[in-house]
């Protein structure tokens, strides 16, 4: 059955028909055979009975008259029927009268026991046993036995016929079925073919051909109807789809429109949100403290409802701590009550109020702030809130103070410079007159001492004046492109000498240091002053660090130095580990004549001079100090683009012209004297030093030190001016050459008659190289006898 499921409908039909035919035929054959068997048996039985009747009829007499021979002859006639196996005829008393055995039968026929009368199929035999009755009297018994060979032979024949009939019928049935099944299968196959085409091509316009009016015809009708319906439905679906698509397109358009509107709205909202967010961010991130309060002016006052982070940063109060409180919590003893009253009054009138006040942080410290408090009005014009924008001006105040200090220094400097300038003229006159006086006095006159004192005092005043001039930025500067590292290198030996052995001097050069534009000599003087100052601060030794570095001041950092412009600078820091200074000293350290040293130990003009020089060079100088730990001066000079020319030659450079001549050095400024002496010795010269002219002369007088090739003297010195000293020296040693030095310009000095024209003057401050070169120039000048003096 499983196999037959996948067969084609034709084969199935054939199978069904053939199976049915076979079964029917088999049944028919079986029934016929069975019937035949029974019929034949009946026939056999009848035949046997008939035979028995014949035998009876012919053996009556033999039985009646006990004639075995006659009986035997009669029985022998049974030979005519080959199916008779045997026959026995019994007498009435049971004795055998006659018997018959089928001839040529290898079966030995044995006399059977007397049996009930009648016929009986017994195994493969049919037996008959019956009394022989004659004239109503039983005269004997007849026994007949027949075999079934005939039956079987007949059945075999019958079977053959049946088989042939069966095969022929099947063949016929096959042929017939094969033709007839088409009646059913052809329409089905056709239908299947059409269905396949429809399914394959999706062509619902195909139609199956109706071949009959039976159920198959109805099926084809149904199928065609279905196709028609599908076609209709497809059309309906298509039109619905088209309608739907149209609707979708319409809806999409509407949606797009709505979407665009939404997008626009969204964009606007987003813009508004962004704007709000931006506003919020601005408020959150601005450095201005913003406080919003309600508009309650009556006591206890408006309540804070909003503060921004800058407020917290400014005051130390966080949002939770101030919300609901009044701004009074920020007020303290130094808060101006009158200002608050004015504020309240202004706000009461709906006016914006601006002012400065002192407030107090959470930790109790004061800070200065600038207020701008404005009422906020709602759409109806009613004041609903106040907003306070508070700007911490503590720093500005500090800067203002600094600027004030700086301006003060400036003013003082200008004043000092102006005075010094006037004083210069006056002092020139005084010195000149006193020297004239001294010259006119006879030797040994007691007035000479007075005149000398006048000259000394005037010289001291001149020195101060010179320093004041420096401070007042009235000096004549010769700015050049400088490399501060080179300047420091050139000064290193001198600096170490000045600092003494106990001090540890370190130089730290910033890499790629930019050049600055300044007067080299002045810069050396500034550095020297600073170092001397540090040396004084470290009487027991310590560490001195000089470092250079490029630095940039932007708009923000320049705020710390109100006088500075933003830009690129070179910084020179001079840091000691000395005693340091108090804040008070620190604020006044650059003031002229301010000194912590004992009277007579310093003029109080050193740092002022530095200040003036740096300022005059467009730079700035600041000081940072901690008492007991040390002081750091920082000098800022604007960078210049071009590389510095090595204008400052190293002291120990072999290029510096030197010599072996003997030089007498007269200089009242110990630092300068020391510096110059060291330099000259290094250059190979034999150097004699004197603090003033008198000492110089006495030195010459006291010790016979031989020929002095050159006198290097300051013009303005106490006790004896450089001019006098030079004159005296030349009077004694006409071949001694003279080199003057002065902070005054040659023009000024010569013009004012301090020095005669034609003398050689080395303008202070001078660089080591300038000194060396100038010295060599004077020494190498051919001797020109001073005809004028003579």
Partner 1 sequence: MHKPDSKALKRRTGKLSRLAMACLGFMVSLLGPASGFGGEPPLTQYQVEAVFLFNFAKYVDWPPAAFTNATAPITIGVLGTDPFGDSLQHVAEGKTINGRPVTIRHLVSDSELGGCQILYISSSENFRVGQILGKAGALPILTVGESELFVANGGIINFVLKGGKVRLEINLAPAKKNGLDISSHLLAVADVVRGKSD
* Min CB(162)–partner 1 separation in Å: 20
Q: Min. distance of Cβ 127 from partner 1 in angstroms? A: 11
Q: How far is the CB of 78 from partner 1 (least distance, A)?
A: 17
Q: In what order do the strands lie in the sheet with 710-714?
A: 686-690, 662-666, 710-714, 737-742, 761-763
Using rule CB under 8 A, residue 143 touches partner 1: no
- Assess 554 for contact with partner 1 (CB under 8 A): no
Among 15, 61, 558, 585, binds partner 1 (CB under 8 A): 61
Q: Which two tokens stand for residue 721?
A: 């001016």
Binding mask 388-427 for partner 1 (x = CB under 8 A): ----------------------------------------
* Contact call for residues 447 and 441 (beta carbons, < 8 A): yes
Interface with partner 1 in residues 495-534 (CB under 8 A): none
Residues 6+ apart with CB under 8 A from 540: 502
Within 10 Å of residue 632's Cβ, how many Cβ atoms? 18
Q: Supply the minimum distance, in Å, between the C-beta of residue 27 and partner 1.
A: 20
State both tokens at 262. Answer: 């939404």
The dihedrals phi and psi of 718, each to the nearest 5 degrees, come to: -70, 165
Pick from 18, 49, 72, 121 the residue near partner 1 by CB under 8 A: 121
106 lies in the binding site for partner 1 (CB under 8 A): no
Torsion angles phi and psi, residue 481, rounded to 5: -75, 125
Query: Min. distance of Cβ 74 from partner 1 in angstroms?
Result: 8
Asked whether the beta carbons of 44 and 128 are under 8 A apart, the reply is no
Among 27, 111, 234, 447, binds partner 1 (CB under 8 A): 111
Residues 703-739 as b or e (16 or more Cβ within 10 Å = b) = eeeeebbbbbbbbbbbbbbbbbbbbbbbeeeeebbbb
Determine the interface stretch with partner 1 among 56-64, 159-167, 590-598, 679-687 (rule: CB under 8 A): 56-64
- CA separation for the pair 154, 174 (Å, rounded): 29
Indicate whether 317 belongs to the interface with partner 1 (CB under 8 A). no
Q: Where are the alpha helices (DSSP H) in 145-214?
A: 149-201
Segment near partner 1 (CB under 8 A), from 66-74, 416-424, 443-451, 531-539? Answer: 66-74
Among the listed ranges 86-94, 425-433, 495-503, 690-698, the one in contact with partner 1 (CB under 8 A) is 86-94
Binding mask 279-298 for partner 1 (x = CB under 8 A): --------------------
Element containing residue 632 per DSSP (H, E): strand 630-640
By CB under 8 A, name the one of 50, 79, 122, 285 that touches partner 1. Answer: 122
CB atoms within 10 A of CB 47: 17
- Least CB distance to partner 1 at residue 123 (A): 6
Residue 136 near partner 1 by CB under 8 A: yes
Is 166 a residue that touches partner 1 (CB under 8 A)? no
Reference 528, options 490, 503, 495, 577; nearest CA is 495
What is the C-alpha to C-alpha distance for residues 306 and 323, in angstroms, rounded to an integer?
7
| C-beta closer to partner 1: residue 58 or 211 | 58
Shortest spacing between CB 14 and partner 1, in angstroms: 36
Q: Does 706 sit near partner 1 (CB under 8 A)?
A: no
d(Cα 94, Cα 139) in Å, to the nearest integer?
Answer: 10
Beta bridge partners of 555: none
Task: For the CB of residue 24, give the shortest distance to partner 1 in the complex, in Å.
Answer: 25
Nearer to partner 1, 71 or 438 (CB): 71
Report the run of H or E that residue 357 belongs to, with start and end: strand 353-360
Question: Which DSSP helix (H) or strand (E) runs through 574?
Answer: strand 567-576
> Binder to partner 1 among 2, 5, 6, 93 (CB under 8 A)?
93
Among 7, 16, 107, 272, binds partner 1 (CB under 8 A): 107
Q: Is 117 in the site for partner 1 (CB under 8 A)?
A: no
Which residues fall within 8 angstroms of residue 51, CB to CB, at 6 or more apart?
78, 81, 84, 144
Contact 604, 619 (CB under 8 A): no
Span of 132-140, 244-252, 332-340, 762-770 interacting with partner 1 by CB under 8 A: 132-140
What distances in angstroms separate CA 554 from CA 431, 547, 550, 565, 638, one per listed residue? 50, 21, 13, 8, 13
Determine if 704 is a binding residue for partner 1 (CB under 8 A). Answer: no
Task: In whole angstroms, give the CA distance from residue 286 to residue 272.
Answer: 20
DSSP-derived secondary structure letter, 210: P
Q: Which residues contact 735 (CB under 8 A, 6 or more apart)?
A: 707, 709, 783
Determine which residue in the list 4, 20, 79, 110 makes contact with partner 1, applying CB under 8 A.
110
The verdict on 370 binding partner 1 (CB under 8 A) reads no
- 33 belongs to the binding site for partner 1 (CB under 8 A): no
Residue 22 vs 58, nearer CB to partner 1: 58
Interface pick for partner 1 out of 72, 112, 541, 657 (rule CB under 8 A): 112
Is residue 70 helix, strand or coil?
A: helix
Q: Which of 90, 367, 386, 569 binds partner 1 (CB under 8 A)?
A: 90
The reply to whether 600 sits near partner 1 by the rule CB under 8 A is no
Q: Which is nearer to partner 1, 79 or 110 (CB)?
A: 110
Among 22, 58, 335, 678, binds partner 1 (CB under 8 A): 58
Tell me the closest approach of the beta carbon of residue 111 to partner 1, in angstroms: 6
Nearer to partner 1, 66 or 356 (CB): 66
Rule CB under 8 A: say whether 189 interacts with partner 1. Answer: no
Binding of partner 1 by 124 (CB under 8 A): yes
By CB under 8 A, tell whether 149 contacts partner 1.
no
Asked if 555 touches partner 1 (CB under 8 A), the answer is no
Interface with partner 1: number of residues (CB under 8 A):
30
Tokens 């018997």 correspond to: 99
Task: Give me the least distance between CB of 26 and partner 1, in Å please.
Answer: 20
What distance in Å separates the CA atoms of residue 345 and residue 341, rounded to the nearest whole number? Answer: 6
Residue 15 CB, shortest distance to partner 1, in Å, is 33
Residue of 595, 627, 598 lying closest to 608 (CA atoms): 595
Which H/E stretch holds residue 121? strand 118-122
Residues that bind partner 1 in the complex, under the rule CB under 8 A: 57-58, 60-62, 64-67, 70, 90-91, 93-96, 107-108, 110-113, 121-124, 134-137
């Amino acid at each position: 059955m499983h196999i037959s499921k996948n067969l084609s409908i034709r084969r199935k039909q054939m199978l069904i028909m053939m199976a049915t035919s076979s079964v029917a035929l088999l049944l028919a054959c079986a029934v016929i055979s069975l019937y035949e068997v029974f019929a034949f048996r009946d026939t056999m039985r009848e035949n046997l009975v008939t035979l028995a009747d014949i035998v009876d009829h012919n053996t009556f007499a033999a039985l009646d008259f006990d004639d075995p021979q006659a009986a035997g002859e009669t029985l022998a006639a049974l030979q005519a029927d080959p199916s008779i196996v045997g026959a026995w005829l019994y007498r009435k008393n049971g004795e055998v009268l006659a018997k018959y055995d089928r001839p040529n039968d290898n079966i030995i026929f044995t006399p059977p026991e007397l049996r009930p009368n009648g016929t009986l199929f017994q195994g493969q035999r049919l037996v008959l046993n019956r009394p022989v009755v004659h004239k109503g009297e039983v005269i004997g018994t007849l026994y007949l036995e027949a075999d079934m060979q005939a039956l079987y032979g007949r059945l075999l024949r019958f079977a053959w016929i049946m088989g042939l009939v069966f095969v022929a019928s099947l063949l016929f049935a096959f042929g017939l079925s094969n033709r007839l099944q088409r009646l059913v299968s052809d329409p089905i196959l056709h239908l299947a073919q059409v269905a396949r085409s429809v399914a394959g091509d999706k062509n619902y316009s195909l139609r199956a051909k109706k071949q009959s009016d039976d159920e198959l015809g109805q099926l084809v009708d149904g199928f065609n109807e279905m196709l028609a319906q599908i076609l209709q439905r497809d059309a309906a679906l298509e039109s619905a789809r088209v309608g739907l698509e149209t609707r979708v397109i319409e809806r999409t358009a509407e949606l797009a429109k709505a979407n665009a509107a939404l997008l626009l709205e969204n964009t606007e909202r987003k813009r508004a949100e962004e704007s709000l967010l931006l506003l919020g961010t601005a408020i959150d991130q601005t450095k201005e403290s913003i406080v919003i309060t309600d508009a309650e002016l009556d006591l206890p006052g408006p309540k804070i409802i909003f503060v921004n982070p800058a407020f917290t940063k400014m005051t130390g109060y966080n949002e939770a701590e101030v919300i609901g409180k009044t701004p009074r919590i920020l007020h303290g003893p130094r808060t101006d009550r009158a200002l608050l009253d004015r504020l309240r009054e202004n706000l009461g009138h709906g006016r914006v109020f601006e002012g400065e006040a002192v407030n107090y942080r959470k930790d109790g410290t004061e800070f200065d702030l600038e207020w701008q408090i404005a009422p906020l009005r709602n759409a109806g014009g009613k004041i609903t809130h106040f907003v306070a924008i508070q700007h911490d001006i503590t720093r500005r105040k500090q800067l203002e103070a600094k600027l004030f200090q700086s301006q003060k220094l400036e003013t003082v400097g200008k004043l000092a410079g102006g005075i010094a300038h006037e004083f210069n003229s006056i002092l020139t006159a005084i010195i000149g007159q006193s020297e004239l006086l001294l010259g006119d006095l006879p030797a040994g006159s007691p007035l000479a001492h007075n005149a000398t004192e006048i000259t000394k005092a005037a010289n001291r005043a001149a020195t101060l004046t010179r320093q004041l001039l420096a401070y007042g930025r009235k000096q004549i500067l010769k700015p050049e492109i400088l490399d501060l590292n080179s300047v420091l290198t050139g000064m290193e030996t001198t600096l170490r000498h000045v600092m003494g052995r106990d001090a540890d001097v370190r130089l730290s050069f910033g890499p790629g240091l930019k050049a600055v534009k300044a007067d080299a000599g002045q810069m050396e003087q500034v550095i020297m002053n600073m170092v001397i100052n540090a040396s004084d601060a470290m009487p027991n030794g310590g560490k001195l660090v000089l470092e250079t570095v490029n630095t940039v001041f932007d708009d923000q950092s320049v705020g710390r130095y109100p006088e500075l412009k933003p830009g690129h600078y070179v910084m020179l820091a001079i840091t000691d580990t000395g005693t340091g200074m108090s804040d008070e000293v620190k604020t006044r350290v650059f003031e002229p004549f301010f000194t912590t040293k004992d009277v007579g130990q310093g003029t109080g003009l050193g740092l002022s001079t530095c200040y003036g020089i740096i300022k005059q060079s467009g730079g700035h100088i600041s000081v940072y100090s901690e008492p007991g730990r040390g002081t750091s001066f920082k000098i800022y000079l604007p960078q210049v683009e071009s590389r510095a020319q090595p204008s400052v030659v190293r002291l120990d450079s072999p290029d510096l012209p030197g010599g072996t001549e003997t030089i007498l050095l007269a200089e009242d400024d110990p630092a300068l004297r020391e510096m110059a002496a060291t330099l000259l010795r290094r250059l190979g010269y034999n150097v004699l030093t004197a603090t003033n002219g008198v000492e110089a002369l006495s030195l010459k007088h006291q010790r016979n030190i031989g020929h002095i090739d050159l006198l290097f003297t300051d013009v303005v010195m106490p006790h004896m001016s450089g001019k006098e000293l030079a004159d005296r020296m030349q009077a004694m040693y006409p071949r001694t050459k003279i080199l003057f030095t002065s902070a005054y310009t040659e023009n000024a000095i010569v013009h004012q008659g301090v020095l005669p024209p034609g003398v050689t003057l080395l303008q202070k401050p001078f660089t080591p190289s300038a000194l060396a070169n100038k010295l060599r120039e004077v020494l190498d000048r051919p001797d020109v006898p001073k005809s004028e003096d003579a």
